[in-house]
Amino acid sequence: DAGITQSPRHKVTETGTPVTLRCHQTENHRYMYWYRQDPGHGLRLIHYSYGVKDTDKGEVSDGYSVSRSKTEDFLLTLESATSSQTSVYFCAIGGGGGMGEQYFGPGTRLTVT
């Protein structure tokens, strides 16, 4: 498995609180991604990064922000969590060359009550 870790792995939070999820990679890869996975929807791209301080929106970016101050870390922030953001969040790296495959982290299960 690619060197990708996510923290925390599980979190329960209350509506209206801020939440930050961390993705850390040891592969020195340029591209990083945040997805959310919900039943019946597959995985949907939230935000992605194509370099330090270079980020862009995905298809479901409303209510989320990201930051990438170092190559190895990509942070996803929910400024004010809502129950609709209860989901499993996956970080991924890759997609820039070769077969173009993406490698996924183990995921973070977030519950907003």
Partner 1 sequence: GQQVMQIPQYQHVQEGEDFTTYCNSSTTLSNIQWYKQRPGGHPVFLIQLVKSGEVKKQKRLTFQFGEAKKNSSLHITATQTTDVGTYFCAEVIIQGAQKLVFGQGTRLTINP
Number of C-beta neighbours around residue 51 at 10 A: 11
Q: Name which position in 28, 42, 53, 62 contacts partner 1 (CB under 8 A).
A: 42
Interactions with partner 1, residue window 53-82 (CB under 8 A): 56, 58-59
CA–CA dist 33, 86 (Å, integer): 18
> Do residues 103 and 94 lie in contact, with contact meaning Cβ atoms separated by under 8 Å?
yes
Q: Considering the complex, what minimum distance in angstroms separates the CB of residue 14 from partner 1?
A: 26
**Number of residues located near partner 1, criterion CB under 8 A:** 27
Q: Name which position in 72, 104, 110, 112 contacts partner 1 (CB under 8 A).
A: 104
